[in-house]
Structure 1
Amino acid sequence: MFAAHRAHNIPTAPTNFGNTFAFIQKRWRGVAISAGVGLVGVALGRLEGHLLGREWLEGLVIAIILGLVIRLFWTPNADEKVGIAFCAKPLLEVAIVLLGASLDAALLRTGGFTLLASVFALVVLSVIVGTLIGRAFGLPPHLATLVACGNSICGNSAIAAIAPVIEADEEHITAAVAFTALGSVVVVIALPFIGSALGLGPRAFGTLAGLSVYAVPQVLAATAGVGVVATQTATLVKLARVLMLGPLTLFFALRKTRQCGAKHRFDSHTLLEMLPPFIIGFALLGLARSLGWLSEDLALHGRDLASCLTVVAMAALGLSSDPRAVQKAGKPVVLAAGFSLLALVLMGYVLIRFLHI
């Protein structure tokens, strides 16, 4: 999630009491609604576990579904939207930072160069395949590129970063974003069932989730029911995908320069601006944990708090995703994005088997 931070203009921390009061006043309704839906989701998950012997749907997944259903029949007002958006993005990014405190150094060592290189190669292959699928369904070149990059890298953030570089039309950007908004929710809900059907272990499932989930924070939701190993693996794999946004954006910028003779300003400073603070925070806490600077108890408390924040954020994600938005994208976009996403999952599964994960 990169350029989306600037595109959505997330407010900075308030500087005095007056600003603090205004900050809270504008968001408390949306935060309360998201927290309420999250609590109901967790309660239903535990009830499900009591009645059926296990939670087939995790509480946070139920929270997403509840949010989607509520959104079909209710539209939040302006202040409620601000609070819900606050939970769906900044609050979830805090959860990702806290997750770094429980990062297992051994997992970093076992990941190895082979997996990292394979993820990079898969992203490039997925962009190529996704673009070809988009063109096969009749999408214009720019729209096919946006859909492919959104699926292959990090959803709306990739679309927002690459769109100005290739000079995509606003209509194409809107169509690509419309599918991604709901597609990200569908992936989070569907992945646990796919992993169970394929008989994947925690590390294999985490790898598949990291290869297919749209946004870094959503790996928590997709892997929460499988365990810590799955979540950590998915986060690392997803971060590797995210790191490909810089090189791919640079590639498209250079190609545009060659085609048009334009002088796009795209340098190392631009690449650094794409790196959002929450990824830096995750890496720093992970490093501190690996060096033994954080105790086991502190790491556990951080993980528990991250889980609570994730439930609230997933409820907010459902509340902020209007299923009817897919209709605006159009059938060709939905089909192209759906098939390219399916291709990504299949390629990810082949990679897992090839590497014997």
Structure 2
Amino acid sequence: MSVHPSVLSASHHVGRLLPGLALCGLVTLLAFVAQTGEERLFGRAWLESLVLAILIGTVVRTLWTPPERWLPGIAFSAKTLLEIAVMLLGASLSIGTIVAAGPGLLFGIAGVVVMAIGISYMIGRVLGLPCRMAILVACGNSICGNSAIAATAPVIGAESDDIAASIGFTAVLGVLVVIGLPLLVPVLGMSKLQYGVLAGLTVYAVPQVIAATAPIGALSVQIGTLVKLVRVLMLGPVMLVLSLGAGHLSRHAGAAGVAPPRLSIAKLVPWFIIGFLALVAARSSGLVPGAALAPMSTLANWLTIVSMAALGLGVDVRVVARAGLRVTAAVVVSLLALGGISLGLIRLLGIA
């Protein structure tokens, strides 16, 4: 009995991926172990497993260069698994609770995100960051930190070094923001409601928003989480605009006599962005079973961490070190600008 050639081809393809996938899985496991160790020692994880996966992967790559047979699985993890994870994030978002906050705050948050992306991008470019790095920093600061950077990377074709540097510096700054932001409450004389809005607009991740608002009060936690979810919801539209912008640039690639690549809907709007928006709509319409939400979120989290391990395994630490000072400056100045814009929105809406 002969085996169909397509089966043999598929088996060969999977076989090529296994070594790299196994390596990324091992790095991911070590990252979870390290996070658990942090929680037991300090009572909380100062560096999440996503960041630890990059750091561990980078250390492995610094000490050892993977041979050719490891590379297909690493590349698959860094790209395809990341795209699947981004798509699955759509199932965690529902429009219903966001609309209940009112149109003023809703459109205000969207406006803050758009302004912050533009300002952060300009800051990055002024400080000498490459275009793609500036976009990563801008989206990470303005939307949802590491997740936004991870989602933006495949859309704009960012390099592993740029992604790892952006996530690394953003993660460190995110911890500092969680610790330092509550100190602004007495300094600025902010109410719990005002502080919740500020935290939701400036802190990177949803768990970090909760950590930053919990010391102030339950109202801050509730409004901060809601505002943060609106920011996360901006991820889909921003990725769509970026993908269209990338297609626009491609159409002009023939300006010097070189024919631009042929574009299709799939190239203009990557499949995982379409899937992300479809899952947001499905969740908002009640088409996603409640019992499926937790497993989908867990799977997205695992896939993201595996992809971050793969990115770390592809990082040349010398490139990250050279970009460090500029990236740090860009992230810090951009975050300060975001804070200023957020305070302006609070005053504009008369939030008391």
Cα distance between partner residues in 2 of 1:94 and 1:158: 13
- The structure that has the greater radius of gyration is 2
Gaps of 5+ in 2: 140-148, 183-194, 211-224
**Pair 1:245 & 2:242 matched:** yes
Match of 2:276 among 282, 292, 306: 282
Using a 3 Å threshold, how does the CA distance of structure 1 residues 25 and 255 change in structure 2: closer, same or farther? closer
How far off is 1:354 after superposition?
Answer: 2.7
Using a 3 Å threshold, how does the CA distance of structure 1 residues 204 and 319 change in structure 2: closer, same or farther? farther
Equivalent residue number for residue 192 of structure 1: 174
1:189 aligned partner, one-letter code: A
Contact 1:207 / 1:233 at 8 angstroms: preserved in 2? Answer: no
Match of 2:333 among 343, 350, 353: 343
Cα distance between partner residues in 1 of 2:207 and 2:19: 27
How far off is 1:149 after superposition?
Answer: 4.5
Cα-Cα RMSD: 3.9
Cα distance between partner residues in 1 of 2:167 and 2:11: 33
- After superposition, give the CA deviation of every residue in 1:127-146 in whole Å (9 maximum; x if it has no partner): 44444443xxxxxxxx8656
2:61 aligned partner, one-letter code: R
1:81 aligned partner, one-letter code: L
Using a 3 Å threshold, how does the CA distance of structure 1 residues 100 and 144 change in structure 2: closer, same or farther? closer
Equivalent residue number for residue 287 of structure 2: 293
> What is the TM-score when the length of structure 2 is the normalising length?
0.69
Equivalent residue number for residue 353 of structure 1: 343
- After superposition, give the CA deviation of every residue in 1:205-234 in whole Å (9 maximum; x if it has no partner): 664466xxxxxxxxxxx6566678698555
Using a 3 Å threshold, how does the CA distance of structure 1 residues 290 and 256 change in structure 2: closer, same or farther? same
Contact 2:250 / 2:261 at 8 angstroms: preserved in 1? Answer: yes
How far off is 1:252 after superposition?
Answer: 7.6
Using a 3 Å threshold, how does the CA distance of structure 1 residues 36 and 115 change in structure 2: closer, same or farther? same
Equivalent residue number for residue 222 of structure 2: none
- Counting aligned pairs with the same residue, the percent is 27
Contact 1:30 / 1:84 at 8 angstroms: preserved in 2? Answer: yes
Contact 2:155 / 2:243 at 8 angstroms: preserved in 1? Answer: no
Give the 3-state SS of the residue equivalent to 1:38 in structure 2: helix
- After superposition, give the CA deviation of every residue in 1:310-332 in whole Å (9 maximum; x if it has no partner): 222222221122212246xxx6x
1:112 aligned partner, one-letter code: L
1:122 aligned partner, one-letter code: A
Give the 3-state SS of the residue equivalent to 1:294 in structure 2: coil
Using a 3 Å threshold, how does the CA distance of structure 1 residues 208 and 20 change in structure 2: closer, same or farther? farther
1:187 aligned partner, one-letter code: F
Aligned residues: 302
Equivalent residue number for residue 306 of structure 2: 312
Contact 1:103 / 1:290 at 8 angstroms: preserved in 2? Answer: yes
Using a 3 Å threshold, how does the CA distance of structure 1 residues 59 and 95 change in structure 2: closer, same or farther? same
Contact 1:27 / 1:80 at 8 angstroms: preserved in 2? Answer: yes
Cα distance between partner residues in 2 of 1:342 and 1:271: 37
**Pair 1:236 & 2:218 matched:** no
How far off is 1:99 after superposition?
Answer: 1.8
2:92 aligned partner, one-letter code: S
2:296 aligned partner, one-letter code: G
How far off is 1:117 after superposition?
Answer: 2.6
> What is the TM-score when the length of structure 1 is the normalising length?
0.68
Match of 1:85 among 68, 75, 88: 75
Cα distance between partner residues in 1 of 2:327 and 2:45: 30
